[in-house]
Structure 1
Amino acid sequence: MKATQKTFKGTIATAVRQARVFYFCGPDEAGAADAAALAASHFPEGEKVELSGADLRRDPVRLADEARSVSLFGDKRVIHVRTAGDEAFEAVETLLASPVDGWPVLIVATSATDKSRIAKLLENRPDALVTMFHPPDVRSVTGAVREMGDAAGVRITGELAERIAKATALDTRMARSEVEKLALYLDASPQAPRSADAAALDAVGAVSEDDSFSPLVNAVLNGETARLPGELARMRELEMNPVGLLLAFERRAAQLAQLAGRMGPRGDVNAFMEGEMQARRVFFRDKPDLTQQLRRWRGKRLERLVDRLFELHRTLLGDNRNGELMLAQGLAEIARAAAAAR
Structure 2
Amino acid sequence: MKANAAQIGSAIDRAGNGGDIRLFLLHGPDEAGAMDYAERLGRAMGQAERVDLDGPTLKSQPGRLADEAASMSLFGDKRWVRVTGMGEESAEAIQLLLDAPTAGNPVVAIAPGAKATGKLVKAAIAASNAMALACYPPEGQNAARLAAGIAREHGLRLIGDTAMAMFDAAGGDRAVLTREIEKLALYLDAAPDRPRDADADALAAIGANFDEAEMATAIEATIDGRPADLGRELAALAGANMEIPMLRALARRLVTLAEMRGEVDAGASPDTVVERHRVFWKEKSGTLKALRKWDTSQLAAALERVRRAERGVMAGGGTVGSVGAAHDLLTIARAAARL
Q: Normalised by the size of structure 1, how large is the TM-score? A: 0.70
Q: Quick one: which amino acid aligns to residue 2 of structure 1? A: K
Q: Quick one: which amino acid aligns to residue 4 of structure 1? A: N
Q: Secondary structure at the match of 2:85?
A: strand
Alignment of 1:79-94 (within 5 A): 79-94=81-96
User: Which moves more between the two structures, 298-307 or 4-13?
Assistant: 298-307
Question: Which of 103, 118, 121 in structure 1 is aligned with 2:120?
Answer: 118
The CA deviation at 1:214 is: 5.2
Q: Is the 8 A contact 2:185 2:191 kept in 1?
A: yes
Q: Quick one: which amino acid aligns to residue 231 of structure 2? A: L
Unaligned runs of 5+ in 2: 263-272
Q: Secondary structure at the match of 2:88?
A: coil
In the alignment, which residue of structure 2 is the partner of 1:132?
134
Matched, 1:142 2:144: yes
Q: Secondary structure at the match of 1:195?
A: strand
Give CA-to-partner distance per residue, 1:139-172, whole Å, 9 cap, x none. Answer: 1111121121211011211321122122223333
Percent identical pairs in the alignment equals 31
Q: Is the 8 A contact 1:79 1:104 kept in 2?
A: yes
Q: Secondary structure at the match of 1:3?
A: coil
Alignment of 1:304-319 (within 5 A): 305-311=306-312
Gap change, CA 1:11 and 1:64, over 3 Å in 2: closer
Question: Which of 27, 30, 38 in structure 2 is aligned with 1:28?
Answer: 30
Q: Secondary structure at the match of 1:158?
A: coil
Q: Secondary structure at the match of 2:77?
A: coil
Q: Secondary structure at the match of 2:190?
A: coil
Q: Is the 8 A contact 2:32 2:314 kept in 1?
A: no
Q: Is the 8 A contact 2:23 2:108 kept in 1?
A: yes
The CA deviation at 1:273 is: 8.7
Matched, 1:96 2:89: no
> Relative contact order, CA 8 A, sep 6+: which one is greater?
1
Give CA-to-partner distance per residue, 1:54-112, whole Å, 9 cap, x none. Answer: 34334434333433343344331221111153243333234335433141110111133
The CA deviation at 1:188 is: 1.1
* 2-structure distance, mates of 1:284, 1:56: 48
In the alignment, which residue of structure 2 is the partner of 1:173?
175
Alignment of 1:204-215 (within 5 A): 204-207=206-209, 212=214, 215=217
Larger Cα Rg: Structure 1 or Structure 2?
2
* 2-structure distance, mates of 1:57, 1:96: 16
Q: Secondary structure at the match of 1:19?
A: coil
* 2-structure distance, mates of 1:145, 1:318: 25
Matched, 1:228 2:230: no
Q: Quick one: which amino acid aligns to residue 196 of structure 1? A: A
The CA deviation at 1:186 is: 1.2
Q: Normalised by the size of structure 2, how large is the TM-score? A: 0.71
Q: Secondary structure at the match of 1:103?
A: coil
Q: Quick one: which amino acid aligns to residue 306 of structure 1? A: R
* 2-structure distance, mates of 1:88, 1:138: 34
In the alignment, which residue of structure 1 is the partner of 2:4?
4
Unaligned runs of 5+ in 1: 278-282
Q: Secondary structure at the match of 1:74?
A: coil
* 2-structure distance, mates of 1:98, 1:154: 45
Number of paired residues? 317
Gap change, CA 1:44 and 1:202, over 3 Å in 2: same
* 1-structure distance, mates of 2:56, 2:20: 28
Q: Quick one: which amino acid aligns to residue 107 of structure 2? A: V
In the alignment, which residue of structure 2 is the partner of 1:280?
none
Gap change, CA 1:298 and 1:158, over 3 Å in 2: farther
